[in-house]
Structure 1
Amino acid sequence: MADKPSRPLILYGYGLAPLISPFHSHIHSVASRGCCGFLALDYPSSPPVAEDEKLMRELAQMLDASEAFCSVDGEKGSKEALKKVPSIAERFMGMRAAIVTSAPAVKCFGEKLSFTAVESDNFREVQSSEVAAIELLKLLGFEDGKTLDKDHFDLVFLHIGAHTKDSGQRDVEYMNNLVGSILQAAQPGSEIGSRLHLSVVLSYGSVMEDDPNLSLMSLKDGNSCGYSSLFPRQSYTLKGVNLRNGIRHHNPMLIAQWQDAVTRKDLAEEFSFSEFKEHGGNLAIPADRFVYEVAFKLWKAPKYGA
């Protein structure tokens, strides 16, 4: 645990996990430096059709706000129901959070949860990845290698989405370059490196068909089948003491997290399902617990699972 609250930067790439190649060295570098694992998603009660809805359902789970997403859908909720959903600030001790996106639906949803929406066009269309990294870090109060104590967000969430194959390839290239620029600014031993908590989360998007090669059920394949019943259930399958209904065991989100001298270093060398399965230490947690894990790092929530 750090001696001061971390300042988390979350880089979320919707549908980018299948597009990672060996040439995306900076993304692989985060996996080799930090701790790696999976975020397990739920099946939607009704399969989404539009790409925006697929993205929004995934994002809502990441922010533990699925109820709020249903409330903004005219057929599934109401404005009165939305008012009952606590904001991100109410849930996490006044946490000031920013969401950076070019997707109108993500922007609107973030604002309803009290995120300050920042247009990502300024980060992508105009600026290079190096300048964009500086601007993202500036939102967190990191400027000229120093940590400012005023006028900053506690957490910044950047969304990059893959809506077509062509845009997806550009998105993953941009994500890789952006990660490289951030790692350059947060060198081990630097003031930024000791305070910045970086999460890189890449998903497979909305995949309904089970892929046995990307299944969380395979995490226990190494156990002797004769003793498999003696192993406890993984926490991602439970909510409290009850089994979760509709959990999706395949195509989880891949997550690597790094903060200099704070996060554990796993043995993974690449950002991939197989590498995280064999060498990642975090295994899987439910996607809706992710935001609590991050809030714990900035001293705004108790430790998940404690």
Structure 2
Amino acid sequence: MADKPSRAVVLYGDGLVRFVDSSHIHLHSLASKASCGFLSLPIAPPSESEDERIVREFALLLDAYEAYHDTVRSTSLVTISERFMGMKAAIFTNNASLKSFGTKLGFSVFQIDALYKNSPAGAEPPVDFGASELLKLLGFQVGKTVETSQYDLVFVHVGAGEVNVEKDKATDDVGYLNALVGAITQIAQPGSEIGARLHLSVVTSYGKVSEKDDPNLSVSFRKDDENSYLSKLVPRQSYTMKGSQPRKDVRHHCPMLIAQWQYAVTRKDMAETFSFKDFKECGGNLVIPADRFLHEVAFKLWKAPKYGA
């Protein structure tokens, strides 16, 4: 546990995990030093549109699923600040539906290109400038930490085709996510003042899925695993439970992948690549429900008690 509250960046690659490959070296480098695992999701409602999926899954990350349903009936909801001890939060996204939902939850909402609007011509690469601007919002600049910051938490939502809106540009979006990870970790060097206070989460999802998706992308415990004498040594997490009640409609396949890193705070596991296989075999976080994610991050910011404590 840090001796001061952290400030957090969440890079959310919505529907992009399928496109991560060996060329995305910054994502793999992060995984090699981060604490890695999965966030489980419920089964999607039938006939859900892509925009509905985007907002619903983001709502789950915020533990605001009920609020997502209430948006039809209400123009104002309980805000992030009211739920998490005055936490100030912002989101960068190009998705109109997500902007509307974020505004109702009390987020400051920006277009992704707002990170680059003040970039001087011929200066540092745009992604490097954007990373610097992102960290400034959290009070990190010129290698130092300002004691008061504009925000405690900043999300960057990158969806398939959101950054580059031309058709079939999902791979470009993964490249952008990869470059942004590299730029942020370059600034937040281990042992630096920023590195000690910045909590970085990279979350990626599969987007729209079906029961016919690859059965090897399942996080459930297999029968052949149970027969192994080593299975008794493997801890199991109750991601299928909420309190004492079973969760309904848990989707056991195609979870979100998550890698979290903060120098000298998060634990390093044995994962070496940003991949489902490596996270399942070597990740340290196993599986938690997606609606517990923000509670875990808020704890690092001193804005919530420890989940499960």
Partner of 1:181: 183
1:232–1:191 distance in 2 versus 1, CA, 3 Å: closer
Whether the aligned pair in 2 keeps the contact of 1:219 and 1:277 (CA below 8 Å) is no
Partner of 2:106: 114
Whether the aligned pair in 2 keeps the contact of 1:26 and 1:176 (CA below 8 Å) is yes
Whether the aligned pair in 1 keeps the contact of 2:240 and 2:250 (CA below 8 Å) is yes
Aligned equivalents of 2:34, 2:20: Cα separation in 1: 18
Give 1:126 deviation, angstroms.
Answer: 8.0
Which structure 2 residue ranges, 5 or more long, are not aligned?
A: 120-125
Partner of 1:93: 85
Whether the aligned pair in 1 keeps the contact of 2:225 and 2:231 (CA below 8 Å) is no
Q: How many matched pairs? A: 298
Aligned equivalents of 1:24, 1:170: Cα separation in 2: 11
Question: Which amino acid in 1 is paired with 2:191?
Answer: G
Whether the aligned pair in 2 keeps the contact of 1:15 and 1:162 (CA below 8 Å) is yes
Q: Which is richer in helix? A: 1
Give 1:103 deviation, angstroms.
Answer: 1.2
CA RMSD of aligned residues (A): 2.2
1:250 aligns with 2:253: yes
Secondary structure at 1:261's aligned position in 2?
Answer: coil
Aligned equivalents of 1:226, 1:47: Cα separation in 2: 43
Partner of 2:62: 63
Secondary structure at 1:52's aligned position in 2?
Answer: helix
Partner of 2:135: 137
1:124–1:292 distance in 2 versus 1, CA, 3 Å: same
Secondary structure at 1:94's aligned position in 2?
Answer: coil
Equivalent of residue 207 in structure 1, options 206, 209, 229: 209
Aligned equivalents of 1:46, 1:143: Cα separation in 2: 46
Question: Which amino acid in 2 is paired with 1:132?
Answer: G
Q: Where in structure 2 are the equivalents of 1:5-154 lying within 5 Å?
A: 5-49=5-49, 51-73=50-72, 78-79=73-74, 83=76, 85-123=77-115, 128-154=126-152
Identity %: 57
Aligned equivalents of 1:171, 1:59: Cα separation in 2: 18
Whether the aligned pair in 2 keeps the contact of 1:55 and 1:206 (CA below 8 Å) is no
Partner of 1:155: 153
1:32–1:251 distance in 2 versus 1, CA, 3 Å: same
Aligned equivalents of 1:229, 1:31: Cα separation in 2: 27
